[in-house]
Amino acid sequence: MEGYRTEKLTEGKTKTVYLTKNSDEVLLEFRNDITALDGKKHDILKEKGSINAAVSAKIFSLLEENGIPTHFIELVAPTVMRVRRLEMIPVEVVCRNFAAGHLVKSYPFVKKGEKLRRSLIEFFLKNDLYHDPLLSEEHLTVFGLMSKEEIRTVKKITRKINKVLSKYMLKLGLRLVDFKVEFGRDKTGKLRVGDELNIDSMRLWDLKTGESMDKDVYRQGGSLEKVSQVYVQTYKLIVGEK
């Protein structure tokens, strides 16, 4: 990170944010931490930081090429992205194409792997202590998290992301089951996709075998060796050889 001021701004479960000499930008460092169960399960996975940084950079670049505004500027080191500084909205936006995870656990009439009639967008409060509670659109406006116009914009952008990523993953032999994105406002108030978009935040299934190619392998108790193999394999598909 030579040439950048590296005063730590904040630190999360898997990433650290640093200030830079430009007040409109920050550095986002991806660490090797891997977590599940709202942080209760935690391990260190070799090379995970560089893998997720590279995958995020690739996907954000793909989104920008398709007219989707993100915070991404450039990858400045194997584990570090230079990004626009955003006022992050503490809401996780989840887009689902097939039933899996929380959806299957919450609704008994939905079976894992079932294709949904149309993509489903859900909102969750970003709060591990309260296990990321589900939010309605009314919650978002009443609590002052987003305006009605921002909700419309977020849904429109999320559906466009889904279209771009689904098509891209199909070419790689992967099914985009669901994904999570976060949004923030830049200094002009414009909404941009922030945080990350990588193997931690997408469910990807091998089209031929149906096997998970994402963090579900870790969530479901796979060995760190197996998790590492999956991350490297998915990295190679999305970004290239490592």
Assess whether 74 and 100 both reside in one domain: no
Task: Check which CATH number belongs to the domain holding 47 and give it.
Answer: 3.30.200.20
Strands (E), the chain: 8-11, 15-19, 25-30, 33-36, 41-44, 72-77, 80-84, 87-88, 91-98, 115-125, 134-135, 174-185, 191-194, 202-206
Assess whether 69 and 98 both reside in one domain: no
Flag whether 239 is in a domain.
no
Assess whether 64 and 113 both reside in one domain: no
Assess whether 145 and 48 both reside in one domain: no
Assess whether 50 and 158 both reside in one domain: no
Assess whether 35 and 12 both reside in one domain: yes
Assess whether 104 and 194 both reside in one domain: yes
pLDDT of 6 reads: 73
pLDDT of 136 reads: 98
Tally of domains within the chain? 2
pLDDT of 128 reads: 85
Over residues 125-184, the pLDDT tens digits come to 999 888 899 999 999 999 999 999 999 999 999 999 999 999 999 999 999 999 999 999
Question: The domain containing residue 147 runs over which residues?
Answer: 87-223
pLDDT of 1 reads: 56
Is residue 52's pLDDT more than 60? yes
Average pLDDT over residues 201-213: 98
Is residue 186's pLDDT more than 70? yes
Q: What is the CA radius of gyration of the chain?
A: 17
pLDDT of 3 reads: 55
Using CA atoms, how far apart are residues 23 and 42, in angstroms rounded to an integer? 33
Instruction: Go through the chain and tell me how many residues it has.
Output: 242
What is the model's pTM? 0.95
Q: Which tokens sit at 238?
A: 């999305």
Q: Name the percent of the chain lying above pLDDT 70.
A: 97
Closest CA to 4 of 18, 14, 24: 18
Assess whether 200 and 91 both reside in one domain: yes
Using CA atoms, how far apart are residues 187 and 209, in angstroms rounded to an integer? 45
- Residues whose CB is less than 8 angstroms from the CB of residue 74 and which lie 6 or more positions away in sequence, other chains included: 57, 81, 82
Assess whether 64 and 101 both reside in one domain: no
